[in-house]
């Protein structure tokens, strides 16, 4: 009985936190659960044998999402050390997968709260774990890189002079070492992984200054491939809301489509606004505003391909590549708070 109740509330919290991003609602639902079922909250571990083996973890997941919602809405940060050690412990134990998802959520919440040092500390520790699941070392490295970049952007914005070239150079060298150069990964269309490909594109573009001419060509080329991958994934899921990733009902008149690129749609005005200046979902400061031109050219390119217009197709492919470089060089998408590739020249 208790397990069923927990499962029901657990999925309610999941929908509100992960899908709808409605953090106030998460807090409300959890408070309702905690007051109605105080005995369950207090006796979690005790019911383990009688009920479901995953029960304590489910309960813990609920509490963690509640804590994360508090961080996002009230910027209440006192529970960060507890959350960090919980996730670190679980990543080292049997609940690796679930802990990995919670880790992603915690890191996002920390970035949104500009608690970059906490995010970096957690990710660095996790990178040292010996038993990470196959994909995890890459994702943790990419995520760590995003945290470094976000911290850098904020620091530079607060005090542009302090970001010396030597510091920038050491940042790039550091991230150059984190992400394995020969990382081989089968491309897949998993819509949720776009932020990692964005990290790779930025990493590759930043590192293009670290070698000779051939190195530069290779790394810029690689960066373009990653951006193209993101554009393809977004194009493939263009009937899903860009913010919450829920599938839109194409017959619905309420569906909002970006006027410029006509390739991104939203379930509502709130989600369109949310993705314009920054992508709060991934806790990064890169919004649709800067990606929109890339997507627009990509759409025209895809339409030419569909119509079998080869000349136009080739022309659009070239234009797309130029647009990718502009996107990467334009402070990696941050017009006035950003760094540029030249900041990183040695």
Contact residues for Zn ion (CB under 5 A)? 241, 243-244, 258, 260-261, 264, 267, 271, 292
Please tell me whether residue 158 adopts helix, strand or coil conformation: helix
In whole angstroms, give the CA distance from residue 214 to residue 136.
31
Under 8 Å between Cβ of 13 and 29: yes
In whole angstroms, give the CA distance from residue 282 to residue 325.
22
Query: Token pair for residue 287?
Result: 């919004």
DSSP codes of every residue in 161-228? GGS-HHHHHHHHHHHHHHS-TT--------GGGHHHHHHHHHHHHHGGGGS-HHHHHHHHHHHHHHHH
Q: How far is CA 298 from the centre of its chain?
A: 22
Picking from 240, 199, 243, the residue whose alpha carbon sits closest to that of residue 333 is 199
Burial environment of residue 143 by CB neighbours within 10 A (0 to 12, 13 to 18, 19 or more): buried
Virtual torsion, Cα 271, 274, 278, 284, nearest 10 deg: -70
Backbone angles phi, psi at 80, to 5 degrees: -60, -50
């Amino acid at each position: 009985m208790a397990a069923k109740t927990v499962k029901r509330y657990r999925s309610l919290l999941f929908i509100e936190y992960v899908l709808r991003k409605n953090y106030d609602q998460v807090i409300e639902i959890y408070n309702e659960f905690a007051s109605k079922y105080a005995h369950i909250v207090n006796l979690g571990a005790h019911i383990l044998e009688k009920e479901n083996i995953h029960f304590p973890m489910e309960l813990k997941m609920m509490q963690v999402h509640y804590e994360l919602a508090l961080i996002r809405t009230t910027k209440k940060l006192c529970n960060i050390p507890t959350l960090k050690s919980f996730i670190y412990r679980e990543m080292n134990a049997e609940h690796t997968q679930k802990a990995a998802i919670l880790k992603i959520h915690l890191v996002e919440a920390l970035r949104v709260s500009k608690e970059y040092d906490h995010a970096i500390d957690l990710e660095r520790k996790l990178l040292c774990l010996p038993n990470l699941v196959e994909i995890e070392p890459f994702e943790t490295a990419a995520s760590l890189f995003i945290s470094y970049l976000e911290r850098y952007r904020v620091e530079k914005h607060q005090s542009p002079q302090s970001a010396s070239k030597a510091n920038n150079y050491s940042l790039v060298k550091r991230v150059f070492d984190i992400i394995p150069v020969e990382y081989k990964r089968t491309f897949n269309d998993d819509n949720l992984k776009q932020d990692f490909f964005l990290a790779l594109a930025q990493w590759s573009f930043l590192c293009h200054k670290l070698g000779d001419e051939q190195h530069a060509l290779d790394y810029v080329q690689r960066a373009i491939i990653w951006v193209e991958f993101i554009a393809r994934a977004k194009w493939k899921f263009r009937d899903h809301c860009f913010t919450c990733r829920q599938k839109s009902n194409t017959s619905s008149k309420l569906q909002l489509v970006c006027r410029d690129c006509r390739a991104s749609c939203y379930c509502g005005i709130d989600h369109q606004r949310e993705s314009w200046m920054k992508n709060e979902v991934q806790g990064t400061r890169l919004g649709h505003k800067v990606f929109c031109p890339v997507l627009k050219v990509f759409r025209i390119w895809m339409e030419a391909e569909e119509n079998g217009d080869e000349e136009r197709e080739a022309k659009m492919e070239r234009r797309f590549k130029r647009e990718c470089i502009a996107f990467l060089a334009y402070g990696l998408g941050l017009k006035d708070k950003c760094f540029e590739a030249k900041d990183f020249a040695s």
